[in-house]
Structure 1
Amino acid sequence: MLTFDHVEFYYKKGQPVIDGVSFTIQAGEFVSIVGANGSGKSTVAKLIDGLLLPKKGTVKVHQLDTANSDELLKIHQQIGFVFQNPEDQFITTTVMDEVLFGLQNIQVPREEMRARVDAALHAVQMEEYLEAMPHQLSGGQKQRVAIAAILAMRPQMIIFDEATSMLDPQGRKQVLSIMHELHNQGMTIVHITHHMEEVLCAERILLIQEGRLQFDGDPLSFFETVAVADYQLQLPFAVRLHKTLQLEGPLAADWKEGIRSQWSIN
């Protein structure tokens, strides 16, 4: 379980980037965090993982406090972080070495390493690229290798910080499919995105604006009650179509069920 309790963060005092944010994410949830550029959503992600520390309030992961240096290593072992640009995470010359690097850092016994590498690459359908050089891969393939490097370390939660924003439609589809497969296996997923089509398949949406939490609820409630244009966001095509046709009554209910079925929202 992850808990933000009245968290504040700033780079310059008096100019808060995160201002009194509180929420809880339960183990196994799929949560999307949305907001305009500069709203603070990526800062929230870094606070979750302890890459940044709150100036006020607390961030806890299973009662481990990110502000406690003795507990921070344990938190890093439980949370994986996939960045916008996968090349920012690559430091070796082959796919296998890239996945091995994280295992070496957390001191996994050598006899376990190869099995973990193979399982992680299989999970993202990249086992055929074991000896490939990361810079020769496509954008989607690079991101899948970055995910495999995280999976091999067996975290309990993975944060995807705009991890699909630099990918073509096929690459986005592949990465989203991996996210949902991991969620179906019980992984906690925190997905930061500005692609509103992607949030339809989340269980929950957190809307951040100017460092404050403006909405916390399910996607259907979000699109029914929030004027997304006010937050520099766009409605998904399915929602725009619904509003254009001005569906009401039973048709509206049918539309909601259709969205639930299409994106597996429970």
Structure 2
Amino acid sequence: MLTFDHVHFYYKKGHPILEDINFTIKAGEFVAIVGANGSGKSTVAKLMDGLLLPKKGTVKLQQLDTTNPNDLMKIHQQIGFVFQNPEDQFITTTVMDEVLFGLQNIRVPREAMRGRVDTALRAVQMEDFLEAMPHQLSGGQKQRVAIAAILAMQPQIIIFDEATSMLDPQGREQVLSIMHRLHNQGMTIIHITHHMDEVISAERILLIHEGHLQFDGDPLIFFETVPVLEYQLQLPFAVRLRKTLQLESPLTANWKEGIRSQWPIN
């Protein structure tokens, strides 16, 4: 369970980035965080992992507090972070070494490392690229290697911070499929994105606007009740189509399941 309790954050005093943010994400949830550029959603992500620390309030993973230096290492091991640009995470010369690097940092026994590497790369369908150089891969392949490096460390939660924004449609679909497959296996997924077509298949949406939490709830309710254009967001294609056709029936769970089928779990 990940909890924000009256969290405030600023880089310069008197210029708040986040103000009085409160929410709890339970184990196994798939949560999408949305908001316009500069709304504070990426700051929320970095506070989750302890990359930033709150100026006021607390961020906790179970009983671990990000402001406690003794807890931070444990938090980093349990929360994985996939960045917008996968190259920001690469520091070695081969795919295998890239996945091994994180395992070495958390002191996984040497005899267990290769098994973890193989399992993680199979999970993202990159097992045939062990000796490949990361910079020679496509954008989608790079992002899948970055995800594998996180998976090998066996975290409880993975945060995807705009992880699909630099990918072509095929690469986006591959990464989204991985997210949903991991979620179906019990992983807690936090997906920060400005692609609104991606959030409709989440279980829950958090809307951040000008540093405040404006909405926390079901995507179906969100798209029925929130004037998303006022928040500089776009309606997903399926919602726009429904409105264009002027369907009278409310959004249903069956409709949502139809949207989820865009990213088959296989």
Task: Return the TM-score normalized by structure 1.
Answer: 0.96
What is the aligned partner in structure 2 of residue 65 from structure 1?
A: 65
Which residue identity does 2:116 align to in structure 1?
Answer: R
Structure-2 separation of matches of 1:212 and 1:31:
17
> SS at the partner of 2:118?
helix
Identity of aligned residues (%): 80
Which residue identity does 1:211 align to in structure 2?
Answer: G
Residues 86-118 of structure 1: CA deviation (Å, up to 9, x unaligned): 000000000000000000000000000000000
1:168 matched to 2:168: yes
What is the aligned partner in structure 1 of residue 88 from structure 2?
A: 88
What is the aligned partner in structure 1 of residue 55 from structure 2?
A: 55
How far off its partner does 1:263 sit? Answer: 1.2
Which residue identity does 1:138 align to in structure 2?
Answer: S
> SS at the partner of 1:57?
strand
Structure-2 separation of matches of 1:224 and 1:262:
16
> SS at the partner of 2:160?
strand
How far off its partner does 1:194 sit? Answer: 0.3
Which residue identity does 1:175 align to in structure 2?
Answer: V
> SS at the partner of 1:158?
strand
> SS at the partner of 1:11?
strand
Aligned-CA RMSD value:
0.9
What is the aligned partner in structure 1 of residue 264 from structure 2?
A: none
Which residue identity does 1:137 align to in structure 2?
Answer: L
Residues 21-44 of structure 1: CA deviation (Å, up to 9, x unaligned): 000000000000000000000000
Task: Return the TM-score normalized by structure 2.
Answer: 0.96
1:147 matched to 2:142: no
Mean Cα deviation higher: 239-248 or 121-130: 239-248
Out of 249, 257, 261, the position equivalent to 1:260 is 257
Question: How many corresponding residue pairs?
Answer: 261
Structure-2 separation of matches of 1:17 and 1:253:
34
What is the aligned partner in structure 2 of residue 224 from structure 1?
A: 224
What is the aligned partner in structure 1 of residue 207 from structure 2?
A: 207
Structure-2 separation of matches of 1:221 and 1:65:
32
> SS at the partner of 1:131?
coil
Structure-1 separation of matches of 2:251 and 2:183:
26
> SS at the partner of 2:76?
helix
Unaligned runs of 5+ in 2: 262-266
How far off its partner does 1:243 sit? Answer: 1.0
Structure-2 separation of matches of 1:52 and 1:80:
15
Q: Is the 8 A contact 2:200 2:259 kept in 1?
A: no
Structure-1 separation of matches of 2:217 and 2:257:
15
Return structure 1 stretches of 4+ with deviation > 4 angstroms: none
Structure-2 separation of matches of 1:125 and 1:2:
29
What is the aligned partner in structure 2 of residue 129 from structure 1?
A: 129
What is the aligned partner in structure 2 of residue 113 from structure 1?
A: 113
What is the aligned partner in structure 2 of residue 32 from structure 1?
A: 32
Residues 129-148 of structure 1: CA deviation (Å, up to 9, x unaligned): 00000000000000000000
Which residue identity does 2:146 align to in structure 1?
Answer: A
Q: Is the 8 A contact 2:139 2:167 kept in 1?
A: yes
How far off its partner does 1:253 sit? Answer: 4.8
Which residue identity does 1:43 align to in structure 2?
Answer: T
Structure-1 separation of matches of 2:105 and 2:198:
33
> SS at the partner of 2:74?
helix
How far off its partner does 1:257 sit? Answer: 2.2
> SS at the partner of 2:254?
helix
Unaligned runs of 5+ in 1: none
Structure-2 separation of matches of 1:53 and 1:242:
42
How far off its partner does 1:246 sit? Answer: 1.6
User: Which residues of 2 match residues 237-252 of structure 1 at below 5 A?
Assistant: 237-249=237-249, 252=250
> SS at the partner of 1:190?
strand
How far off its partner does 1:63 sit? Answer: 1.2
> SS at the partner of 1:153?
coil
Which residue identity does 1:13 align to in structure 2?
Answer: K
